[in-house]
Amino acid sequence: MSEHPDAALVRRGYEAFNSGDLETLGSLLTADAIHHVPGDNPLSGHHKGRQAVLDLYRAFGEETGGTMRVELLSVLVDGRGHAMAFHITRADRADRGIEIHHGLFFTIVGGKISDIDQCTQDIDEENTFWG
């Protein structure tokens, strides 16, 4: 049984993220894509537009000295333009490290990602790490 195209799209995004391939990531996003990051820290907020989303991903890399990696655990799709992905994020920043579970809810339009809502296992730990 072949993988659903929306699941394959999400997996390609994770592979590109882990390899730092912003060009491929950009090709997977709509021009008006939004990534919503929860919390109360410098990276929280609504990152609107392909370039703003890519700038967020660039900041993840810069702030962690390139140590951030995500281990994809599973991808679920509904066949109607939605996908959910669950992963473990590992990163180091200054004198702190983090290993935390995240979930991303994707909206997919025309074979591209248009919206990403991020959830975290522990919002306080997340704020401390990025704060």
Q: Mind listing the pLDDT tens digit for each residue in 44-103? A: 999 999 999 999 999 999 999 999 999 999 999 999 999 999 999 999 999 999 999 999
For residue 40, the enclosing domain spans 5-130
Residue 114's nearest CA partner among 73, 89, 83 is 83
Contact (Cβ atoms closer than 8 angstroms) between residue 29 and residue 55 = no
Q: Is the pLDDT reported for residue 1 higher than 90?
A: no
Q: What is the mean pLDDT of residues 4-15?
A: 98
Beta bridge partners of 69: 90
Beta bridge partners of 48: 34
Number of domains in the chain: 1
The CATH number that applies at residue 68 is 3.10.450.50
Residue 71 has a pLDDT of 98
